[in-house]
Amino acid sequence: MSQEEASSSRAPLSPEEAKAATLKQIEFYFADANLPFDKFLFTLTRKDPEGWVPIETLASFKRMRPMREVLNTQEMAEALRKSEALLEVDAEGLRVRRKAELKPVTDAHTRSIYAKGFPDEYEGLQEELEAFFAQFGKINGVRMRRENEKPRKFKNSVFVEFADAAEKDALLAKAKAVEPVEDGGHGVQYKDVQLQVMSKPAYVEMKMKEKGIDPSDNKPSKGGRKFNAFREMERERHSGSDEPKSTRSDPLEFEYNGQLLCTKPDGTVDAEKVTFPAQSVLRFTNAAQGGSWKDLKDTLTTLHPTSFVDFPADAVEGVVGFRESVSDDKLREIQDKGITVGGSAVSWERVNEDKARDFYVERANFRASFLLDRREADRHAPRRGHRGHARGGGRSGRGGRPAPAPPSSDKRKHADEPPQVEAKRSKTDE
């Protein structure tokens, strides 16, 4: 089995595993090692006068996908309330914020190492790297280094920030025991590869010398992180500028199902203007609890263009919206496939048009809310000609862009067998 196949076939998280992973991941988002350098998330914290960020927004980040397949917002809030010192959750369980004031950490650079020799990127590599370096001590973050130009290919090397300098030094000593290089060497092995490891300061100085740059020159380089919250806050203090006022009530136009919609002051859209294909919504019943909406969507997409699957965790029935009308012949084809959800064969029927409209309006309002959040983040962000909408976790590390769709999960051994949908908890998605 290839590394990619092994990664995509990982078992779903249990509810307790998902809660632990949720706490770990969102603590990372708000940690000193990430938040000051994550433009999108930092500006979201500044949008609210008290620093609150919607949990649903965080749940939409790429690294949260395995957890949002298992937990709803309230269950995530329950997990986040176990944060000992970093986070607090509001009374309604809808928002989270950092407790302590954000302050510069002056020794992060000296507590970090550089390591090279990893394979090309595949789904799940980030988690594997974090687990690998965690055996050497507590780590604050593993950042996969990438090319500057799109598609920003992984450079097969990482920067790792340790929480304790002594544990970083111990790793360097181990590395230096074999073929020393700078203050490290090749004494650390990842799978069957001897890694090149050295401290981050040593790596930076080495690269500067290679490029003919005097290491004593303190001019900022053109590379590296382009956003720094402390630099921006200092600039604002000197300029005396006030924080931008919230503009969420301002109208926002966006396209949905081919129709141009405009938000109202309350952030919702005019339901009468939401369009959708006639006879495009089906209801399924008799599902087993724990069935996966994602596997169901993958199966249905092979039969008819699928827009969304509304199938909350522990539900036994749900709704599917398609991008095109479902003819009577197509409905019979879907019914005759004998699709199972969680091991139970489901039944299919049409949803009346009024109920179908309710589902599409709900999706349109969800889309509007997301776009308003992003616009607010952009308006509160410092304007320095820096474009892009990174969705949490900086440019690498535990966040990044939305995840690409994983491979289809059709588990049939023979072509004439009915499609099988794996058993696991699920959540609405589009």
Angstrom distance (rounded) from CA 292 to CA 12: 10
Question: Half-sphere exposure of residue 348, counting CA atoms within 13 Å on the CB side?
Answer: 21
Q: Identify the band that residue 423 occupies on the pLDDT scale cut at 50, 70 and 90.
A: very low
Cα 326 to Cα 278, 335, 359, 403: the distances in Å are: 8, 12, 16, 29
Q: Are 176 and 187 in contact (CB under 8 A)?
A: yes
15-98: which CATH topology?
Answer: Arc Repressor Mutant, subunit A (1.10.10)
The predicted model gives 47-61 an average pLDDT of 90
Angstrom distance (rounded) from CA 338 to CA 355: 25
Q: Do domains 112-211 and 252-358 have the same CATH topology?
A: yes
Residue range 78-128, pLDDT digits in tens: 999 999 999 999 999 999 999 988 888 889 999 999 999 999 999 889 999
Residue 28 has pLDDT above 70, yes or no: yes
List the CATH code of the domain at 112-211. 3.30.70.330
Q: What are the residue boundaries of the structural domains of the chain, listed by start?
A: 15-98, 112-211, 252-358
Cα 68 to Cα 55, 59, 187, 243, 362: the distances in Å are: 11, 6, 39, 33, 19
Angstrom distance (rounded) from CA 255 to CA 9: 35
pLDDT of residue 393: 41
Q: Identify the band that residue 265 occupies on the pLDDT scale cut at 50, 70 and 90.
A: confident
Residue range 299-340, pLDDT digits in tens: 999 999 998 888 877 788 999 999 999 999 999 999 999 999
The predicted model gives 247-265 an average pLDDT of 84
Q: Identify the band that residue 217 occupies on the pLDDT scale cut at 50, 70 and 90.
A: low
Strand order in the sheet with 185-190: 139-146, 154-162, 112-116, 193-199, 185-190
| Mean pLDDT lowest among 112-126, 133-147, 336-350, 409-423 | 409-423
List the CATH code of the domain at 252-358. 3.30.70.330
| Mean pLDDT lowest among 191-195, 227-231, 335-339, 419-423 | 419-423
Residue 380 has pLDDT above 90, yes or no: no
Buried b (16+ CB within 10 A) or exposed e, 120-158: ebbbebbbbbbebbeebbebbbbbbbbeeeeeeebeebb
